[in-house]
Structure 1
């Protein structure tokens, strides 16, 4: 079963909350919105949401209708992709039954069925699906019959902005009159008070999608050298593709990045411009050794389908795909990394939805080489006319700095500590914790002495009976008051008779699920309750040879309940100890990599171009809007001493591709220290400095000492390192920079510290 990311779990919880609120609203067609950026995994999130909704609805006594069925509308063939995805997801869970139109039985949608419908097949009144035909199949009749059977209908409008806004679409939705219409999209078509949004940064932080998309429109015409604009763009896109391929190889990965070339016309058939461009592009690519015949080129057009089999595979040998916008919907190719868009100058707005095909990370992780963590777009639209969609302005970036040509690699050892949170759910280790808790609390055993003639199940039965656990439970009964007399005095009720009713097995299953959901402590109920259910059932099977139906009755028997709740608490405590140990080990597990100034770095709008930085290792230099005063002054100092500095580099402060050393903070937790500046002097020495003012950072001493230790360990005959925390002294007109080349005990004076003077290094 697929494991959800943290943000996906939170989305499931949020959607359920909004759904229960919407179900309480009067009337029909209550609108909900689920907004999820491209690459967030909205289909698997929806599957988990539907699974939990179907499981919980029968227990929601506040609703008069506690059965629900779903209709999933999608354009083109996207409904089939979603159908097969959810069918695979639910093949073990079996809470939801994905079906297609021909699978409908008994003349109605059944509870917990989800019908997948191609929007184009039902958006016409003449279509056989929406009017009774010779087989008597009629979508609306199936829906209305389900409603008469007290089943709520929820319509899921997948990619609604593509299909659900037209007159026919609106008319059909009006006829259906579902209780809820849920718009699922990266760009929802309507707003609602009942909505949930997965933020793009959450998906980036989970390393599911790329950090940025770099937009390089209409490159410098002075470098055109007589070539056509189309050839310039093709050259640049192919060059980037080659750089990415080389970067993957450097990391030992066999991923082959894919270059996508999109034709300008959005029409289904190829226009004259399309055909002319296809010929030009194919001729150009042939000269580069990229052809359909050698499988390095794929073509996906209305009248051509070349080399499409296995195109999405990470190691596929195809380098380039020529396509049209029509394939974009639902097509998932995580190795796609570069997009060249030939487009007519009609649409100036540029947003993430335009480049969604190159957002996914091929291995759902970020890399130590920054070039692999970005998507790259080339277009023949002029930079001065492109308008970035406002909400995407910090994601689509146009500021790229490249490493100086004379740079020679320095190969520093860099550390990265993955700080992504452990998911708050019961793990696969919980069953072991449950068994240990049962052996401790009840005295059970699976490992009896061979000389003991008593069977394991007989031995364990005695242990439970000694704890006053009732094992002979044939049925669970619930008392229902009858003939109730209400006295006139407030608060006084006399119950003269009670009648008991036995619970059916299906009712017991519901009660048991609710019992487990109520007793998973602080863990996420969606993922953890099934783990607890299975753990309890397996406990009875392995220690007492009892099946799950007998186990459920014993656990839910009123006089037994409190003891099993106590057992669960012991198991949860044991499990938490395991998680704490794992977290402690994880905090000490450091990923090491060989670091150099990146070949290129992408800067968003939170950085501004600074012209006065000739010696920066990346050209041009972009300075952060959040740079401290000491950082800015140190940059000026380095530039004033450029005669003695080969290059300097302003480091990043959080990513795998940034240079860092490890240190232990005041609480003994291992953390990454991202040193502000890496400097190579003309003498060949490498300086590692972090700018601060005295006592400005509570970790001042710990960071400095960790850096000094690193310098001592890494300095070799062919690589001399110096550095430490460095602080400004004196006035701005008479500024000196002080650092200590030894360990320090306090951070409030610079007695005995050295002055950093590049001319003397």
Structure 2
């Protein structure tokens, strides 16, 4: 792969593979602006074409612009040796196996277009028929599907007689009979690709009298732009942050007033500081997306051209006339990208900003972004707490990747613990068969009574359907491709490379590969294909769970990751860019927080965090409480290792002083009224041991805090990790903080 993919992108690729194996025709990829949707799809297509020959992808784009050309260029850039085509290329050479064809479907629908006309050249439909004659099959990707889901768009798709349509959008329409692949926005933020939060109307007080909305809002925006410019310069980043001014459609008077306002401040088209992108009016747009381009402001109308990306865009000013207009999430998406695809560990730079007096628009933003759209204020650390110091751990840049030996060890250990395997490979086969693994020289596909194919190795997912199975002999070419597909998919789920997991499977399961023992089975190469394909779902779960399996020896012996840990002194940041939900009823000031003016409506906060902050505020023994950040070198962090030997970082939620002693607290999902765990973090046991070791090294106190819904109490676990609330490991927090 030409670029380093984020783990969420690898998981999305794997989920798309899963979806392609389902019985649904429609696949919906919901991925927010800035998440690398094109990167995900191009790498997915590349891997899919390696696994399934005689396939052609048709990538359909909407709009009057050149989005298809942009997408083609990106795939050519990301995927070395990719076989991409445009409509013009297809008209000359037709379709070939492995093609990815980027086509603007609106151009195909134009009456003036020659592609679908009879004539001297073979027309487009005849090229499709020739592809069918050559046993080629088409898979469709509809980019920006919220725009391409029309009757005419459906006519284009019908030409290809496809069995799979992937519709990709940040705001897809509702499809009930489809497989959804959703990229969590929180993971895109954690990867540093988009800004952490949208700040609404900073510095605008409720009840302010405004005589001139243009002067009022643009003044706020220009002041913010100058602060951002200075902050980037202080970081050594050559970024000229851009203000996007959005005008209502069909309001030339407002446009004239905006241009005049900027001209009075020497921001004009003539000196290159002002740009415009309107119907029939384009100024200073060349390379405007470059990090240090001259324009500091661009004027646009409500509808932004599809595919227009400018990562340095940081501020949106939404002006209105007497009518409120329809909110479009794509508008906000234009200011959410990070200019260098990383966070700067400074709240000022890691946020984007909206200034508007359009209450309907503001409400729509809040509904769309939820806790990602908040009010903000600058808070300052109490003077007496500026001397508090801890040691923060980070992963140094020398770490080069996961250790294949540790991953092999973790997966082998998982089999040993959960399936009782040992050195006797013949016995291992019997034990795995007894646990439900299928051993066969055939590849099975399970079929429902209606004769619809389900998927090899997945009959257990259809308990309410009477199923039988069909099977076919192993074909090393065909099933070798499918094996590659499945191993890539499993590896992507846990952030491993295909080559690494393939080598592990061969060492564990294939005769003669491992000379150092540690084998589970003695299969031949072709039998390995059958074993993996027939047991794909079990193997997916095993590898995923093995990555988080608690291997005490690994965690207690810090030498395994000590070379990757860098340490630095941590002081509580003197200034906090505080975000809060102004719509909450309670707006109490928490006096015990380290920052003056900290509110009970602080957001984003999880329910456990809210409960813990409220508890500390009302508990006499608590001297002060600091809410740690969730990412960034300016916050307090601890290094731990997963079971594959990869060093990871986590940021404990709170640092608290209780009766003069420092406690480090991590909050997690609680226990329901039946005692069932609601913690969704599979790495919690590993993080707990890392926290406990850290506390021992520096003679501090701390633990994990979780809510017990049955008693309504917060409980703390400090000595050993347990997922059982009834165990003696969990104590009432009120008994400890007293």
| Map of 1:499 onto structure 2 | none
2:224 paired residue among 217, 237, 240: 240
Query: Is the contact between residue 519 and residue 568 of structure 1 (CA under 8 Å) also seen in structure 2?
Result: no
Measure the CA separation in 2 of the matches of 1:670 and 1:300.
43
Q: Aligned in 2, Cα 1:418/1:204: closer, same or farther, shift over 3 Å?
A: farther
Q: Which residue, 599, 605, 629 being the options, matches 1:621?
A: 599
Residue in structure 2 matched with residue 172 of structure 1 by the alignment: 156
In structure 1, the partner of 2:308 is: 331
Alpha-carbon shift at residue 587 of structure 1 (Å): 5.7
Task: Return closer, same or farther for 1:83/1:659 CA change in 2, 3 Å cut-off.
Answer: closer
Secondary structure of the 2:338 match is coil
Deviation at 1:136, TM superposition (A): 2.1
Aligned pair 1:162/2:147, yes or no?
Answer: yes
Residues 675 and 615 of structure 1, relative CA distance in 2, 3 Å threshold: closer
Q: For residues 198-220 of structure 1, what are the alpha-carbon distances to aligned partners after superposition, in whole Å with 9 as ceiling and x for unaligned?
A: 12122122222122212229933
The corresponding residue for 2:33 is 38
Tell me the distance in 2 between the aligned counterparts of 1:690 and 1:363.
36
Report the counterpart of residue 48 of structure 1 in structure 2: 43
The answer to whether the Cα contact below 8 Å between 1:707 and 1:724 also exists between their aligned partners in 2 is: no
Structure-1 residue corresponding to 2:614: 632
**Shift in CA distance, 532/104, structure 1 to aligned 2, threshold 3 Å:** farther
1:649 & 1:706 partners in 2: Cα distance?
22
Cα RMSD (Å): 5.3
Q: 1:380 & 1:629 partners in 2: Cα distance?
A: 34
Query: Closer, same or farther in 2 for the Cα pair 1:421/1:125, shift >3 Å?
Result: farther
Q: For 2:33, what is the secondary structure of its paired residue?
A: coil
Q: 1:144 aligns with which of 110, 125, 129?
A: 129
User: Measured at CA, do residues 412 and 288 of structure 1 come closer, stay the same or move farther in structure 2, by a change above 3 Å?
Assistant: farther
Give the equivalent residue in structure 2 for 1:197.
Answer: 182
| 2-structure distance, mates of 1:39, 1:6 | 15
Aligned to 1:372: 349
1:361 is paired with a residue whose SS is: coil
Q: 1:423 to 1:566 in 2, by over 3 A?
A: farther
Q: Equivalents in 1 of 2:489, 2:182: separation in Å?
A: 27
- Alpha-carbon offset, residue 150 of structure 1: 1.4
- CA distance in 1 between counterparts of 2:263 and 2:496 reads 52
What displacement does 1:240 show?
1.8
Q: Is the 8 A contact 1:69 1:110 kept in 2?
A: no
CA distance in 1, matches of 2:208, 2:366: 29
Moved more, 387-396 or 406-415: 406-415
Query: What are the residue-to-residue correspondences of 1:88-107 with 2, within 5 Å?
Result: 88-90=77-79, 92=80, 94=81, 96-104=82-90
Q: Is the 1:413–1:595 contact (alpha carbons within 8 Å) kept by the matching residues of 2?
A: yes
Of the three residues 369, 376, 379, the one matched with 1:403 is 379
Deviation at 1:54, TM superposition (A): 0.9
2:290 to 298, 313, 328: 313
Deviation at 1:517, TM superposition (A): 7.2
**Are residues 1:213 and 2:213 paired?**
no
| TM-score (structure 1 length as normaliser) | 0.62
Q: 1:101 to 1:256 in 2, by over 3 A?
A: same
Do structure 1's residue 114 and structure 2's residue 100 form an aligned pair? yes
Alignment-derived partner of residue 87 in structure 1: 76
**1:604 deviation in Å?**
4.8
Whether contact under 8 Å (2:325, 2:361) holds in the other structure is: no
Structure of larger gyration radius: 1
> Which residue does 1:4 correspond to in 2?
5
Q: Gaps spanning 5+ residues in structure 1: where? A: 59-65, 266-270, 434-506, 536-555, 571-575, 680-686, 710-722, 726-746, 756-761
**How far apart, in 1, do the equivalents of 2:338 and 2:482 lie?**
38
Q: Give the structure 1 partner of residue 234 of structure 2.
A: 250
- CA distance, structure 1, for counterparts of residue 596 and residue 33 of structure 2: 31
2:649 is equivalent to residue 660 of structure 1: no
Within a 5 Å distance, the mapping from 1:518-597 to structure 2 comes to 523-524=491-492, 528-529=497-498, 562-563=511-512, 584-585=561-562, 588-590=565-567, 596-597=573-574
**C-alpha separation between the residues in 2 aligned to 1:384 and 1:329?**
20
Give the corresponding residue for 2:165: 181
Deviation at 1:690, TM superposition (A): 4.5
Aligned 8 A contact 1:660 1:674 in 2: no
| Distance verdict in 2 for CA 1:355–1:698, change over 3 Å | same
CA distance in 1, matches of 2:384, 2:229: 21
Unaligned residue ranges in structure 2 (runs of 5+): 409-474, 520-546, 548-553, 671-687, 704-729
Deviates more, 1:627-636 or 1:278-287: 627-636
SS at structure 2 position matched to 1:130? coil
Cα distance in structure 2, aligned partners of 1:230 and 1:748: 58
Q: 3-state SS of the aligned residue for 2:22?
A: helix
Q: How far apart, in 2, do the equivalents of 1:223 and 1:276 lie?
A: 25
Taking the aligned partners of 1:671 and 1:18, their CA distance within structure 2 comes to 31
SS of 1:360's equivalent in the other structure is: coil
Report the more deviating stretch, 386-395 or 138-147. 386-395
Which range moves more in the overlay, 6-15 or 514-523?
Answer: 514-523
Which residue number in structure 2 is paired with residue 490 of structure 1? none
Equivalent positions of 1:402-421 (< 5 A) are 402-403=378-379, 410=386, 417=393
How many residue pairs get aligned? The number is 572
Cα separation, partners in 2 of 1:368 and 1:649, compared to 1, 3 Å: farther
Cα distance, 1:42 vs structure 2: 0.9
